[in-house]
Amino acid sequence: MTPAPGKIVCVGRNYADHAAELGNDVPAEPLIFLKPPSALVADGEPIRVPPDAGRVDYEGEIGLVIGNRCRRVAESEAWSHVSGVVALNDVTARDLQRSDGQWTRSKGFDTFCPVGNVVDASAVLPERLTVTTRVNGEVRQRADASQMVFSPRHLVSFISHVMTLEAGDLIATGTPEGVGPVSPGDVVEVALSCGSAVRNPVEGGDTLAPDR
């Protein structure tokens, strides 16, 4: 797993079919939000379903690791600022997302951002990446980056025009059609065609020890 980033910038509704499956329109510009670094877990660590969170969904995504500090970069130069590509699961408390009207709580629980091994971005053509999500070995999502509304290069450029991106920051580029709920006992795997993958069991209850 990549070292803890200063920030995790996520993109919503970046595949038209996913926007449609949840009854949403495709945004005119990238719809961005933040996920806290405290949500990160590595391959093999459990996703913990919080008490009273309601429905909790997997969202397999292509993650981008920023390699050097950048601000207001052109789309043509954007990929030179990406050092790594990583499988990412933007776990979401769907009922809370709907009821809150904004996404901080539903996306921000501890363990709600599993991240896999980092693959060198210089060996990757972002437009040719494929993301596949399996639950208990069954394929639930599969899509190519070419199906994104806004490409990985465009996202890096767009976000850098909003906020300075620092080395180690993580961008989650959006999830394709096929999201669905998970329950304790399930195992979720997100795999990218470049060789990054993250696999996590789902456990019930918040069993993280409180700080004293």
**115-163 pLDDT per residue, tens:** 999 999 999 999 999 999 999 999 999 999 999 999 999 999 999 999 9
DSSP string, the chain: -PPPPS-EEEEES-BHHHHHHTT-PPPSS-EEEEE-GGGEE-TTPPEEE-TT---EEE-EEEEEEE-S-BSS--GGGGGGGEEEEEEEE--EEHHHHHHHSSSHHHHHSTT-EEEEEEEEGGG--GGG-EEEEEETTEEEEEEEGGGBSS-HHHHHHHHHTTS-B-TT-EEE----S--EE--TT-EEEEEETTS-EEEEEEEES--PPPP-
Q: Stretch 75-95: mean pLDDT, rounded?
A: 98
Q: Is residue 212 part of a domain?
A: no
Residue 129: inside a domain, yes or no? Answer: yes
Whether residue 2 is contained in a domain is answered as no
Q: What is the pLDDT of residue 13?
A: 93
Domain membership of residue 167 (yes or no) is yes
Q: What is the mean pLDDT of residues 165-171?
A: 98
Q: How confident is the model at residue 212 (pLDDT cuts 50, 70, 90)?
A: very low
CATH of the domain at 20: 3.90.850.10
Q: In this predicted model, what pLDDT tens digit does every residue of 44-80 receive, in sequence order?
A: 999 999 999 999 999 999 999 999 999 999 999 999 9
Domain residues for the domain of 192 are 8-204
| Total count of domains within the chain | 1
In terms of Cα–Cα distance, which of 159, 155, 205, 208 is closest to 185? 205
The tokens describing 41, both together, are 């877990």
Give the Cα separation of 67 and 181 in Å (integer): 33
What is the residue whose two structure tokens read 């990446």? 129
Whose tokens are 């990054």? That residue is: 196
Look at the chain and count its residues. Answer: 212
Q: Which pLDDT tens digit goes with each residue over 8-45?
A: 999 999 998 887 787 878 899 999 999 999 999 999 99
* Structural domain contains residue 73: yes
In a domain? residue 24: yes
pLDDT attached to residue 208:
53
Q: Is 210 inside any structural domain?
A: no
In a domain, 60, yes or no: yes
Per-residue model confidence (pLDDT) at position 25: 82
pLDDT band at 206 (very low <50, low <70, confident <90, very high): low
> Quick one: average pLDDT of 169-189?
97
pTM comes to 0.94
